[in-house]
Structure 1
């Protein structure tokens, strides 16, 4: 490179010398034309001519040198760009072919298998295996989990590889020699005090059944601290899933979830109250339950309550939207009484609630549809079944003070925005002509345009098991409450009531009434960014203000004997 630069400069000097000579000659010729000879020029004039010539030569050298350097630099930059483009193309090829091959090779052991058939460990560990009650003999065979580098998880396809009968099984993970439970799966304690994960296998090609979704939450106190010794979660904020208490022989897949003797005293009981208001036509109109499509029941003897939200849109097709929800609630309470007053059932309470709802649903005669929330308190736990957007929230006092925090919020089920899961009873095709003759032609036209399978099943509901502590406040309601009030709004009203009242029954009565009133007030506020408006925005719809609707609230205060 140095030699090249030297040659360039040498050539330029030669060119400059030629220019100098030509310039002097031209200058002399110019002077001679003016009849001046070289001898006539003074020393100063000769020097000026010389300096001008040197200046022109230097300028020429600079221009030519920079031009050639820029040209060489441009060629070099072009070469660099071509190399970078080639490297980028090579990187893409590596990503597409080589890395893709590595990933496919890493995951070939699960190729074509439904992910619902996996048992996964996603936490830390170098060597992971599991044992369970599904092997023969139970708890004897240790099954290794394979680590996938691309997924960063340990996985076993044992449910797919073996002929495992449908049922509920207990398993436990062995991580680096230590037996632990997986916080991502349901957990239960057996009669010996041991914690185990619980999985359900159904008949659909050995697929894991729907999650039991029985949860603990932050703020459980002693329960959390005890469980944390046995359960591994991804981080300290991860929820711990609990199943119903195990009893019986773990060798049997069905030997879990048997209810204790009905004569045993519950350490927690509920003081309950409810309030309901129909959608009012005027802002100043007094609140009344007349005309509401909602329904609810409270049974303190059974320690149970239920809330149903009848779908009011059926009224536009000539149906009484309230009849279905009222029948559903009435039959739920009736079946629950019949079941619990007979021989004590030998099934777990969440399964019991599913059977109660199924039997109540079978007895309904009226046409229509409704969401449902059904709950019962037993042995310091609240067992619930929710279908649709009728929800509940559990509030807990902080360290003995009257400030509250939300420790649990039930999950709303919706097929799409403002279309919740619901139980429905619709006319069969053999009833169409009879209903048309009675004036229900618009209803029949709707049914003919849509699917006959428009309703959800009681078994599609979310069953939950929530540990309760004395002082907990359970606020349950229809979407008329939760579409207009955020959880923090509910907490604020509850704290105000706690400051003014001491008796549990008074607190429940006043809080239920106030929440209904506040929800209705929010519903009339056309500039309020309500929870309903926020959810509408998430669904890509424009909506501002509260939502006018029937509103029902049930408040339950948990107390110790």
Structure 2
């Protein structure tokens, strides 16, 4: 599993899959507003509004069990993601289905996938508020609970909205998925992990009948929220815990610094592929002292090695 031959095959597979992931890496088609002039009666030219920011974004990832999980748009194993755009906002999100439900015969990926698909649809509804990503989580969760055929399980989630009118990003994060923002080589904003206790993140849940009292279930309103201005060239990474549990922050930062200000989606895709492959490789390294292993030790649990998991990387830069 850890041989050089296996790693070479994994890298080759990742490079081949970059063509399929590029299909998912559709960049926002809304460009910054161009400056135009019109002639008034007095012959004076007036200019329209200045360019607004937009995301150039790509996606890459791996299912923990590549043999059992075939590639599907918007999913990597039990992880799910979405991207959507309107005239006034660019939106991205990830969700991570809680794998423990599989022992109950429940597919954890269905819960996370429903949340992200519904968020994507709600972005295009008339009541969409580009300042309230927590609303997307709340409305999606409500729709899930109202389904005639119950969609059982649990999921963490992180949603980020760029309000193009105000150049402000609004975020909502519940659990241990999350985001970081890199500017001038440093992390200037990042989400806070929400844990009830070690390896038990906050989560949205719909348990089977009779299991409610024994299942953790947090409300969408308990999500950690942030708002902050963005600048041209900022790099934004949204990812599931399969990335954050396996890639040290300083190593992640080294990779992200190289794409500050990058507008070429192909080059951005190569960086997303690199991060996802790095997380995948480290997750299978039994000798690596991963961020997850370090966290376990802080909780008096002796651990070493990476944490095999589904991996999702949504990577974006801010362009005017």
| TM-score, normalised relative to structure 1 | 0.44
Counterparts in 2 of 1:336 and 1:521: CA distance versus 1, 3 Å: same
CA contact (8 A) 2:59 2:269 kept: yes
Q: CA deviation at 1:353?
A: 2.1
Q: Which residue among 81, 98, 123 is the counterpart of 1:336?
A: 123
Distance in 1 of aligned mates of 2:58 and 2:254:
19
Alignment of 1:531 with 2:318, yes or no, is: no
Aligned partner of 1:485 in structure 2 is: 247
Q: Which residue among 515, 536, 546 is the counterpart of 2:306?
A: 546
Counterparts in 2 of 1:453 and 1:547: CA distance versus 1, 3 Å: closer
CA contact (8 A) 2:289 2:305 kept: yes
SS at match of 1:332: helix
Alignment of 1:406 with 2:187, yes or no, is: yes
Q: Which residue among 133, 138, 141 is the counterpart of 1:361?
A: 141
Aligned partner of 2:33 in structure 1 is: none
SS at match of 1:451: helix
Distance in 1 of aligned mates of 2:306 and 2:84:
32
CA contact (8 A) 2:84 2:91 kept: yes
Q: CA deviation at 1:300?
A: 3.7
Aligned partner of 1:388 in structure 2 is: 175
Q: CA deviation at 1:559?
A: 1.2
Distance in 2 of aligned mates of 1:334 and 1:265:
29
Distance in 2 of aligned mates of 1:548 and 1:266:
43
CA contact (8 A) 1:373 1:384 kept: yes
CA contact (8 A) 1:280 1:287 kept: no
Counterparts in 2 of 1:390 and 1:536: CA distance versus 1, 3 Å: same
Structure with more strand by fraction: 2
Point out where structure 2 has 5 or more consecutive residues left out of the alignment.
Answer: 1-47
Aligned partner of 2:65 in structure 1 is: 280
Q: Which residue among 455, 464, 467 is the counterpart of 2:229?
A: 467
Q: CA deviation at 1:267?
A: 2.9
Alignment of 1:310 with 2:72, yes or no, is: no
Q: CA deviation at 1:502?
A: 5.2
Aligned partner of 1:326 in structure 2 is: 113
CA contact (8 A) 2:85 2:123 kept: no
SS at match of 2:124: helix
| TM-score, normalised relative to structure 2 | 0.75
CA contact (8 A) 2:94 2:177 kept: yes
CA deviation vs aligned residue, 1:221-248 (integer Å, no higher than 9, x gap): xxxxxxxxxxxxxxxxxxxxxxxxxxxx
Distance in 1 of aligned mates of 2:189 and 2:264:
21
Distance in 2 of aligned mates of 1:549 and 1:490:
17
Q: Which deviates more, 361-370 or 287-296?
A: 287-296
Distance in 1 of aligned mates of 2:69 and 2:155:
26
Q: CA deviation at 1:406?
A: 1.2
Structure with more helix by fraction: 1
SS at match of 2:96: strand
CA deviation vs aligned residue, 1:440-470 (integer Å, no higher than 9, x gap): xxxxxxx2xx725621000000111021111
SS at match of 2:242: helix
Aligned partner of 2:217 in structure 1 is: 455
How many residues are aligned here? 262
Q: Give the structure, 1 or 2, with the largest relative contact order (CA under 8 Å, sep 6 or more).
A: 2
Q: CA deviation at 1:504?
A: 3.3
CA deviation vs aligned residue, 1:406-431 (integer Å, no higher than 9, x gap): 111210100001000000112334xx
Q: CA deviation at 1:405?
A: 1.4
CA contact (8 A) 1:278 1:551 kept: yes
Distance in 2 of aligned mates of 1:381 and 1:521:
35
Give runs of aligned pairs for residues 40-55 of structure 1, distance below 5 A.
none
CA contact (8 A) 2:154 2:205 kept: yes
Counterparts in 2 of 1:323 and 1:287: CA distance versus 1, 3 Å: closer
Distance in 2 of aligned mates of 1:363 and 1:477:
24
Q: Which has the larger radius of gyration?
A: 1
Point out where structure 1 has 5 or more consecutive residues left out of the alignment.
Answer: 1-262, 398-403, 430-446
